[in-house]
Amino acid sequence: MKKAFYLAVFAVLFFAASQEVSAQAAQDFTLVNQTGVSIYQLHVSPSDTKMWGDDVLASGVLNSGTQTGIVFSPANDVCLYDIKITDKDGSSLYWTGVDLCKYAEITLYYDFDKAEGTATFK
């Protein structure tokens, strides 16, 4: 009887801990760079914020044709974020209103003929 009780308590604690971990990681994503240029800075901020947060590109530089996991711990449950990338020359591209709770992979592109950045979301 005691053993069953402890197993039940363990199961409840394990379930609660796993839910908290998944909630904290809901906004983490994989960034794929298909822009044709190296990304030197990546800023991710809630869409309702007017300021950019710190550079979250842990690898320092994300070369075109490569990808990296973006892990950050927002202190909120916000899903809509704005993303800003900056290249070596300081030129930046922006994507606004990206639902990081819905998408786990973002692939960025740049069309040099149109001077336009686009993205796909999975």
73 DSSP assignment: -
Q: Could you tell me the residue range of the domain that residue 96 belongs to? A: 2-121
87 DSSP assignment: -
* Rg (the chain; Cα; Å): 19
Distance CA 56, CA 114 (A): 28
- At residue 81's C-alpha, the angle toward residues 122 and 113, to 5°, is 65
Q: How many distinct structural domains can be found in the chain?
A: 1
Percentages of the chain per state (helix, strand, coil), in multiples of 5 = 20, 40, 40
pLDDT on residue 59 = 74
pLDDT on residue 1 = 53
The reported pTM is 0.76
Q: List the CATH number of the domain containing 87.
A: 2.60.40.2890
How would you classify the pairing of strands 105-111 and 29-34? Answer: parallel
Distance CA 101, CA 21 (A): 14
3 DSSP assignment: H
Could you list the pLDDT tens digit for every one of the 122 residues in the chain? 545 433 343 443 444 443 444 444 578 999 999 999 999 999 999 999 999 988 999 779 999 999 999 987 666 788 999 999 999 999 999 999 999 999 999 999 999 999 999 999 99
Cβ neighbours of residue 59 closer than 8 Å, sequence gap 6 or more: 68
